[in-house]
């Protein structure tokens, strides 16, 4: 989470300079969808890297492990995300389409990417062994 602020500070002036004040809704939806996909790819990669995960993401893995994997990752993730959105909403946060997209899509997309793509890219030998067993 250290680099998020630096990256935001870097790109914000570029976005403000090159984008119109109020782009069309279709353009904003496309940008938001691309951002959600990039976020899910990033989350999948860092969770599978084995270098530790953020406390917020750890809640999901703790729920999955505590249930002995009876609760799938995507269900736990959507539950945690929706609860976070509800808490934020009740404390006055703005909940927009991007917030809802992340809350409901992060879990399923991250699980799909972790199982089908990221593990095969980061650990190709182990993925081949898993497929043959």
Query: How far apart (Å, rounded) are the C-alpha atoms in residues 58 and 56?
Result: 5
Token readout for 10 is 């870097």
Chain mean pLDDT for the chain: 85
What's the pLDDT tens digit per position in 37-73? 999 998 888 888 778 888 888 899 999 999 999 999 9
The count of structural domains within the chain is 1
- Please state which of the ranges 43-52, 81-90, 98-107 shows the lowest mean pLDDT: 43-52
Q: pLDDT value at position 5?
A: 81
- Helix, strand or coil, per DSSP, at residue 20: coil
Tell me the mean pLDDT in the region 69-90: 95
Give the pLDDT band of residue 1 (cuts 50, 70, 90).
low
Tell me the mean pLDDT in the region 6-29: 83
Helix H, strand E, coil C: the string for 50-69 is CCCCCHHHHHHHHHHHHCCC
Domain hosting 96: range is 2-132
Tell me the mean pLDDT in the region 89-108: 94
């Amino acid at each position: 989470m250290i680099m998020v602020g630096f990256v935001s500070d870097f790109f914000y002036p570029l976005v403000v300079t090159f984008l119109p004040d109020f782009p069309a809704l279709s353009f904003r939806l496309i940008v938001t969808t691309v951002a959600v996909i990039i976020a899910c790819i990033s989350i999948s990669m860092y969770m599978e890297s084995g270098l530790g995960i953020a406390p917020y993401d750890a809640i999901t893995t703790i729920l999955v492990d505590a249930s002995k994997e009876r609760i799938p990752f995507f269900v736990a993730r959507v539950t945690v995300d929706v609860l976070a959105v509800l808490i934020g909403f009740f404390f006055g946060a703005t909940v927009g389409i991007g917030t809802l997209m992340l809350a409901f899509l992060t879990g399923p997309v991250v699980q799909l990417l972790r199982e089908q793509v990221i593990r095969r890219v980061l650990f190709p030998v182990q993925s081949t062994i898993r497929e043959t067993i």
